[in-house]
Structure 1
């Protein structure tokens, strides 16, 4: 596994292997959960799993088969389960904590791992997959799997070992918001490790009202305003491609949020036009009902696509922005996407200005909504993702700050975008 991971540089982005698509089993960018725990990457000492849904029997089986059945495991989870509440009585080395949200619309939706090794080093994984069997079999999931972060010298200062993207500081700030004593050890390990070679930005959301630009869509907008270098005269021609497994409720018209706060922040650039101009196009990739019917799991494949039928009925205008799921080149047409990613591409679809892999769906709960009175950003969910920007990832010259899609397996869906029609409606859930 260490050779596969080394070969993934400088992106370090992987996709989960699809059980029923044998063509994915030997792809250099496909990965199983067991491979994440492979000993060639380091001898595991303990690990932190932060997630939404956790099937504890399946998760412990993965650690057992990896040879780590007695290693300390800390779990933060969002979906409350009885077996997680009592797991410490049966497995004393497992420490599980339920993270509740202030509102029913908010979810503890982050999917992150911190893997600590016996030699003092660690790795961070930022993922889109829940920790249960279905998410690791026939669904398209994405993961950023960090390089090894070695232990700093004993006399190093806590702020040493920072990356140009300030990843270490951002990670510590995110972990600190939980105020959990169980995280003290992992935060100390992060402080004591060298992150100087990490080339992505951590983009996270935490519940609350925020006036800084550290969270949600204001974090995205701030980073793009500093570093996204699409030529000013071409800005309108570079569409925003948003791909998600769920869609929120946006109101009676797109400008209320979707083409307002959301589009404005996700399309910011370093040198914006000085005069008012039309915003770039927004294209949302979301599976159609036909996509689901043809999936490996038939209609059950839509179980990871919780977009309610009554919500869609109130915003039928959204059909103008929707495009079907298609990932033929990576043999994932039939693997329904639980992955979420955002990118801006050139008019010829050969270049990308950035790539954001995240747990956050296209929703106000995930990215936040600006308060009209005081401009505070109101967030309801916990989310985490990584933003790849060319000058940090591939060191392109300043006038060519692009990522060439042909060299970047992270942009996995093909850009023959298929519009929705009356015969191919979006996959929606009818809630009884």
Structure 2
């Protein structure tokens, strides 16, 4: 067995897209019959482009000489096309939460209209005249990114904020070199095995500034058939009063996060953020920055920032009734968590997740959602989806105890059970019926110490390796007591990304491990997975 070179026990929130798979020539007739017809025909002819009709390289003759592109699926009905929303309408209907999943190619279009948005729709000229923008991310395909901007915005100044590019075929600078309007900023990574994992956009319009915080790399496969999470701020108007802050201190926390880069290229954006009115923002910023945070800085980042925010703002009445309320963590990668749950997960990390206004001695049930091998095999991408789930065998073998917490990925109500999750979310329900939530967090942070931090020196410092960012939804900031996930409530239903309650692994279920071969059954495209190829 060959170890996948793009994962290691230390690089635990690595989002690398591992593409090691092959078509098995010895598939049985039964297996081949299960392959969609247009794929089966092309196995013996040109290769089928994995992006299909959505591929942005279809005008490239070198690419089309090697790959075929099936036509886009027709709409299921003429009525469906009449229901298509514009980007502006999508944001309007998402109020008050402004939380989306990415659109998914290959599902009914109806499920891509409500609380779902594409990268092109986020960058649409309908939102206003773009002045300049910044893109923070882990992985970039600059050509793909440029294609997502409308033509009239492609010459506007663009800042690319990146971390380690050792996994790229070409460096970020080489990708950007043909475009003088693109500036590159390398994030400092002073602690070994850290990554710049933040996924965020700054979009400056003539009318104001928009912040987008999401979970997708800026590469085509992340925006096609995966489940991604996206929060889109209002367009915050410019103001002469620098005190225009949100009730969640979003501006202050964002500026503090940006300052930690210590980058000259970000000084413009620090000033710009300060000059805009953030009072319409009602989510809390939860970020991580590399370092050993001590003193007053300990509660500014990582899981201690989440702990402090919940303690300060949750504001529940009769909170004792929620001491045992269950908690869910959902993610696409897992780090080295220690020889047992008490090492970090159920002690330090859970203490932050279970925080109420007053500390609780109870230990609520923690349920972790992570895809099974079958989730990956039957996904829209097949085994290819597993390249974005870089849980490696070295860690999996050392922490077999973790499987006792695992639950399957299932999102039937959003028609995304087959759209492999790259989204990362954490939430707390009010009780085992999961009809209401105490809070909800969407973030870039996977289940790892590198992302969330680990306490050191007798709990006097928090060591974080990576840059991460997310937004926390607390009902109080939306004038609610709890978030309803039921359509019958008088309050707007919170657009939960997956089905509740979560379904526990059965004895036959195995968590996806990226550097293990899967050759017993072909995936949804008739492929096998062999990381040694």
Q: Normalising by structure 1, report the TM-score.
A: 0.93
Mapped to 2, the partners of 1:374 and 1:250 lie a distance apart of 17
* Offset, 1:90: 1.2
Aligned partners of 1:38 and 1:66 also within 8 Å: no
In the other structure, the counterpart of 1:150 is: 237
* Offset, 1:106: 1.1
Of 127, 136, 142, 1:56 maps to 142
Mapped to 1, the partners of 2:337 and 2:459 lie a distance apart of 21
Mapped to 1, the partners of 2:210 and 2:493 lie a distance apart of 22
Of 276, 283, 300, 1:214 maps to 300
Q: Deviations over 1:146-185 (max 9, x none)?
A: 01100113xx3x3x21111110111111111112121122
> CA 1:53–1:88 in 2, change beyond 3 Å: closer, same or farther?
closer
Question: Which moves more between the two structures, 339-348 or 223-232?
Answer: 223-232
Q: Secondary structure at the match of 1:386?
A: strand
* Offset, 1:26: 4.0
Q: Deviations over 1:388-410 (max 9, x none)?
A: 100102x02xxxx2111124343
In the other structure, the counterpart of 2:275 is: 192
Of 424, 430, 435, 1:340 maps to 424
Aligned partners of 1:17 and 1:24 also within 8 Å: no
Mapped to 2, the partners of 1:271 and 1:170 lie a distance apart of 23
Aligned partners of 1:217 and 1:368 also within 8 Å: yes
Q: Which runs of 5+ in 2 are unaligned?
A: 1-86, 487-491, 517-531
In the other structure, the counterpart of 1:123 is: 210
Question: Which moves more between the two structures, 181-190 or 227-236?
Answer: 227-236
Of 177, 180, 204, 1:92 maps to 180
Q: Secondary structure at the match of 2:384?
A: helix
> CA 1:242–1:374 in 2, change beyond 3 Å: closer, same or farther?
closer
Q: Which runs of 5+ in 1 are unaligned?
A: none
In the other structure, the counterpart of 1:323 is: 407
Q: Deviations over 1:244-287 (max 9, x none)?
A: 001111111101100011000111001345xxx43101000000
> CA 1:9–1:44 in 2, change beyond 3 Å: closer, same or farther?
same
Of 70, 92, 108, 1:6 maps to 92
Q: Deviations over 1:194-234 (max 9, x none)?
A: 00111011110000111231000110000111122274332
* Offset, 1:78: 2.2
Q: Normalising by structure 2, report the TM-score.
A: 0.76
In the other structure, the counterpart of 1:247 is: 334
In the other structure, the counterpart of 1:226 is: 312
In the other structure, the counterpart of 2:499 is: 414
Question: Is 2:199 the partner of 1:111?
Answer: yes
In the other structure, the counterpart of 1:201 is: 284
Aligned partners of 1:24 and 1:30 also within 8 Å: no
Mapped to 2, the partners of 1:88 and 1:359 lie a distance apart of 24
Aligned partners of 2:412 and 2:499 also within 8 Å: yes
Aligned partners of 1:230 and 1:353 also within 8 Å: no
Mapped to 1, the partners of 2:393 and 2:493 lie a distance apart of 35
Question: Is 2:257 the partner of 1:174?
Answer: yes
Q: Secondary structure at the match of 2:153?
A: coil
Q: Deviations over 1:25-60 (max 9, x none)?
A: 642211111111112211101000010001111011
Q: Secondary structure at the match of 2:292?
A: strand
Count of residue pairs the alignment pairs up:
418
> CA 1:17–1:146 in 2, change beyond 3 Å: closer, same or farther?
same
Question: Is 2:120 the partner of 1:34?
Answer: yes
Mapped to 2, the partners of 1:289 and 1:231 lie a distance apart of 42
Q: Secondary structure at the match of 2:177?
A: helix
* Offset, 1:316: 0.8
In the other structure, the counterpart of 2:382 is: 298
* Offset, 1:97: 2.3
Q: Deviations over 1:371-429 (max 9, x none)?
A: 14352000000000001100102x02xxxx21111243431211142212331100011
Question: Is 2:102 the partner of 1:22?
Answer: no
Question: Is 2:366 the partner of 1:286?
Answer: no
Q: Secondary structure at the match of 1:233?
A: helix
Mapped to 1, the partners of 2:494 and 2:327 lie a distance apart of 18
> CA 1:423–1:23 in 2, change beyond 3 Å: closer, same or farther?
farther
Aligned partners of 2:188 and 2:261 also within 8 Å: no
